[in-house]
Structures are given as structure tokens and as C-alpha cells.
């Protein structure tokens, strides 16, 4: 103890990370705790959070503006990868962690800190993502994890905090555990812990209920360049504004709610509610454009790698050799993913109703048509099928002989 003088702490403003500040000082003998809060477009006011860390005893309190790199370097690659953990969760929380870890390490090195710290508990995925990302970026860096070690209940944590300048959470706090950023919200705990219970409407904040969604459908068109979304309805948008616009459109029509049982890295099944309207919409459109512009074999191979990519990202292996190698494959495929997709939004549904790629479509009308313009050579199918079916014919003949 007392071996760490200066520590940079990933700070969220919640009770656990706030209590980490006095705890690191008293129990670990840290002299200076520097709090680092990340702006990931969660829309919260960050100045009160910054001050809260100072009140809890931080010697410095910093805010890192990570919105643009979050979308450009993490969300867009996830769209190109059609990243869906277990086929359903678009990784909105998981994608933020390696970026926070990266900035944490940079700040620690800049300020000459001896260690970094985070307030994750020992039950979740986020501790894994932080620890492994930090290990990959700075193998020599020490990571202090007070909340994983202190063994205090929620009540004990709160009263420990109250003794050292961390106010107890105001009034009757929401029973839910919520994680929030520009890609969406994740909600757990409270009544959601009973997987039989339908989520009460109050758990949702950025998607409209089906009842309240507009009674008239809308059709929107999303355009992509090299697999990255670039415009909605013909209006070019920078990546951050594009995600915001997609969130508003899809969220307003009640699209993007997910209610799942998810398999955590630490072996626990947990019930999660997500709202990720824009990200899900963009993945849907992107998948559709790929179905028009990528060959059947590339699509099949890519979909296997997508599953693996999503598991790696979920499991904290954003910075890893396999993830890098899969990214190289994905990037190679995306050169041809240019064009646009038309989607109808209506009462909780997003339905693809059209797709178009002027230069990269592999859909050939002269091959697909049943009309007069058909250029497909029907008779050549015979020879193809003879050879295609040859193994079946041989197998059957041999089996019939054996039966006799
Ligand atoms: N289960 C999700 C994930 O691992 C989200 C967890 C976020 N935390 C929360 N308090 N809801 O990515």
C-alpha cells in the first residue's frame, strides 16, 4: 500500500466511482486521484459530474470529449461488421469501453501517473473490457479496482461515501442500472431481474411506445460509401449528426427496443433491455446493401466472421490480433458497399422496401428477369445439374446395390 502516488480514475459520477476517490486515498494510500469523465454523447451535463469528483476529493477532474472518435472509430466499424452479439445486441455499451480505456492510458502517461483505476464490480462485462484493453495498450500499467475488492453492500458504499464528501443518491433513486451513450441505453436490475415481467414503459427514454408512435408510416433513404453511412434522405451528415438523426427517426417510430437474456463473459445470464434505434436501423440498412453488392461466398464468410467479431468486442478483445485480422477482411469487402437503402418505419418496425447501387450492384436484371429480356442460358443448366448431382447419383446407386 502507498506504492501509488498518482492514479487516473475512469469516472462516471455514480456512487461507486465517486466512492472510489476517497477509498483510493484512504485504503490504498494514493496521494492524488485524477478523475476522468468521458463524453460519449450521453447528453448529460458534464460540469456537475466534473465538480462532483472534486467534492469527493479528486485533485484534478477532467472531461474527455470522445464523441467523434466514438462514432467514427468504434460505431462505424461496428456497422460495417453488422456487429450483433448473439445475433441481437448491437454492442452499444461494449463499444465505448475500449475507447475510454485508451484515453485513460493516454492521460495516465501524459500526467506521469503510476496507475489507472475504474469502479466496475466483479460481476459485469465492463471490468473485463477495461482490464483487457488496458493490458493490450499498456501491459506495464497497474489497474486498481476498488469496487471489485471492497466487498461493501450498496448501503455500506453509500455511508462510506457520505463520510468523505460523496452525497447519497438524491431521493428515491431509480431502481434500474442504466448505461447511456450516443448509441443507446442499456437498462438492467429492478423488476427487470424477473425475466417473466414485461418491461414497464418507464424503462424507455429514447424510443416511443408502439401505442404513441405515429399512425402514418414514413419512408427514408440511407446512403453508404465504402460501408459507412453518409446521408439520410439525400442530406449529407457527419458521422455524429448521422447517428443522432437515425436515433430520432427510428426512435420516434418505436423501433430499436430489445429485451433479451444475454450471456455475460463471467458466465452469468442476465436480462437486458436496450434501446439502440439509430444503430440497429443503420445495421439493417447496411446488411441490405451488402446483400446487393457482395458475392454469395463473401457474404457467407463475412457473416461467420461477424459473429466472431461481435463476440470479441463483447468479451473485451477490441485490441487483439484476431479482431485486427477480421477488421482487415471486413475493410476489404467494404470497398464495394456503395449505394442506398429505402426503409419504411412504422409502429416499432423498420422494413426494407428498396435498395440501389449504381456501380456495385451484382444484381443483373438480364439474369434475374422472367421477361423477354432474359439472357440466362436455360439449357446450360442441364449440364451443370448433371455434374452437381453426380455425387448423389453415385451414392444412391451404391447404396441400392448394398441392399440387395
Ligand atoms: N450488458 C451490457 C454489456 O455488457 C450492458 C451493461 C451496461 N451496464 C449497465 N449498468 N446497464 O454491454
Condensed to tens digits (0 to 9), the pLDDT of residues 224-277 reads 999 999 999 999 999 999 999 999 999 999 999 999 999 999 999 999 999 999
Biggest distance spanned by C-alpha atoms of the chain: 89
Domain ranges of the chain: 6-68+90-174, 178-356, 365-403
Res 196: pLDDT: 97
DSSP E strand stretches across 114-166: 115-117, 142-144
Res 1: pLDDT: 57
- ∠ CA 281-270-183, rounded to 5°: 25
- Our answer to whether residue 126 is catalytic in this structure is yes
CA of 193 to the centre of ligand 1 (A): 13
DSSP secondary structure string, 185-251? Answer: EEEESGGGGSTTSPPPGGG-SSS--TTTS-SS-EEEEEEEETTEEEEETTEE--HHHHHHHHHHHHH
Instruction: Return the residue whose CA atom lies nearest to atom 8 of ligand 1.
Output: 179
Give the number of the atom of ligand 1 that is nearest the alpha carbon of residue 187. Answer: 11
Res 45: pLDDT: 87
Catalytic residue among 50, 97, 103, 355: 97
* Distance from chain centroid for Cα 190: 23
d(CA 24, CA 389): 70
Mean pLDDT of 383-393: 97
Cβ atoms of 134 and 143 within 8 Å: the answer is yes
Residue 165 clears pLDDT 60, i.e. is over it: yes
Band (pLDDT 50/70/90 cuts) for residue 55 is very high
pTM: 0.95
Res 255: pLDDT: 98
CA of 326 to the centre of ligand 1 (A): 24
Res 175: pLDDT: 85
* Distance from chain centroid for Cα 179: 12
Task: Indicate the class that CATH gives domain 365-403.
Answer: mainly alpha
Band (pLDDT 50/70/90 cuts) for residue 172 is low
Fold of 6-68+90-174: Rossmann fold (3.40.50)
The rounded radius of gyration (Å) of the Cα atoms in the chain is 26
Higher pLDDT, 343 or 174: 343
d(CA 305, CA 290): 15
- Our answer to whether residue 174 is catalytic in this structure is no
Strand order in the sheet with 339-346: 235-236, 228-232, 218-225, 339-346, 349-356
Catalytic residue among 174, 177, 209, 396: 177
Task: List all residues whose CB is within 6 A of at least one atom of ligand 1.
Answer: 93-94, 125, 177-179, 186, 188, 262, 272
Question: Is 137 buried (19+), middle (13-18) or exposed (0-12) by CB count in 10 A?
Answer: middle
Sign of CA dihedral 256, 259, 263, 264: positive
- Cβ partners under 8 Å of residue 150, min gap 6: 23, 27, 157
Average pLDDT value over all residues in the chain: 96
CA of 352 to the centre of ligand 1 (A): 29
Burial letters 157-188, b for 16+ CB under 10 A, else e: bbebbeebebeeeeeeeeebeebbbbbbbbbb
- ∠ CA 236-241-242, rounded to 5°: 60
Query: Looking at domain 178-356, which of 3.40.50.920, 3.50.50.60, 3.40.50.300, 3.90.1260.10 is its CATH number?
Result: 3.90.1260.10
Band (pLDDT 50/70/90 cuts) for residue 31 is very high
- Our answer to whether residue 177 is catalytic in this structure is yes
Residue 215 half-sphere exposure toward CB, CA atoms < 13 A:
0
- Our answer to whether residue 380 is catalytic in this structure is no
Amino acid at each position: 500500500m502507498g506504492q501509488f502516488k498518482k492514479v487516473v480514475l475512469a469516472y462516471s459520477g455514480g456512487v461507486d466511482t465517486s466512492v472510489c476517490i476517497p477509498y483510493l486515498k484512504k485504503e490504498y494510500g494514493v496521494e492524488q486521484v485524477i478523475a476522468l469523465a468521458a463524453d460519449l454523447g450521453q447528453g448529460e451535463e458534464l460540469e456537475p459530474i466534473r465538480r462532483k469528483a472534486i467534492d469527493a476529493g479528486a485533485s484534478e477532474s477532467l472531461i474527455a470529449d470522445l464523441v467523434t472518435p466514438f462514432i467514427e472509430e468504434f460505431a462505424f466499424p461496428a456497422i460495417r461488421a453488422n456487429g450483433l452479439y448473439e445475433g441481437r445486441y448491437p454492442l452499444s455499451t461494449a463499444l465505448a469501453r475500449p475507447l475510454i480505456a485508451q484515453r485513460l492510458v493516454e492521460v495516465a502517461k501524459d500526467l506521469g501517473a503510476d496507475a489507472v483505476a475504474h469502479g466496475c464490480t466483479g460481476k459485469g462485462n465492463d471490468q473485463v473490457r477495461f482490464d483487457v484493453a488496458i493490458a493490450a495498450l499498456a501491459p506495464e500499467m497497474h489497474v486498481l479496482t476498488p469496487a471489485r475488492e471492497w466487498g461493501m453492500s450498496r448501503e455500506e458504499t453509500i455511508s462510506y461515501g457520505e463520510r468523505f464528501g460523496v452525497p447519497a443518491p438524491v431521493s428515491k433513486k431509480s431502481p434500474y442500472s442504466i448505461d447511456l451513450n450516443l448509441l443507446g441505453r442499456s437498462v438492467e436490475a429492478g423488476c427487470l431481474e424477473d425475466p417473466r415481467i414485461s418491461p414497464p414503459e418507464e424503462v424507455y427514454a429514447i424510443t416511443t411506445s408502439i401505442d404513441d408512435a405515429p399512425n402514418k408510416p414514413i419512408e427514408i433513404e440511407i446512403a453508404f460509401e465504402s460501408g459507412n453511412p453518409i446521408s439520410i434522405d439525400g442530406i449529407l451528415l457527419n458521422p455524429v449528426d448521422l447517428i443522432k438523426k437515425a436515433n430520432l427517426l427510428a426512435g420516434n417510430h418505436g423501433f430499436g427496443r430489445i429485451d433479451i437474456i444475454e450471456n455475460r463473459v463471467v458466465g452469468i445470464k442476465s436480462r437486458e433491455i436496450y434501446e439502440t434505434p439509430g444503430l440497429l436501423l443503420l445495421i439493417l440498412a447496411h446488411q441490405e446493401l451488402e446483400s446487393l453488392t457482395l458475392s454469395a461466398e463473401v457474404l457467407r464468410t463475412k457473416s461467420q466472421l461477424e459473429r466472431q467479431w461481435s463476440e470479441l468486442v463483447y468479451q473485451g478483445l477490441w485490441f487483439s490480433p484476431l479482431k485486427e485480422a477480421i477488421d482487415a477482411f471486413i475493410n476489404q469487402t467494404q470497398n464495394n458497399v456503395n449505394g442506398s437503402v429505402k426503409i419504411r418505419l412504422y409502429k416499432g418496425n423498420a422494413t426494407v422496401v428498396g435498395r440501389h447501387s449504381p456501380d456495385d450492384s451484382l444484381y443483373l436484371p438480364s439474369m434475374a428477369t422472367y421477361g423477354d429480356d432474359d439472357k440466362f442460358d436455360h439449357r446450360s443448366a442441364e449440364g451443370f445439374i448433371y455434374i452437381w448431382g453426380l455425387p448423389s447419383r453415385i451414392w444412391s446407386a451404391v447404396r441400392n446395390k448394398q441392399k440387395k
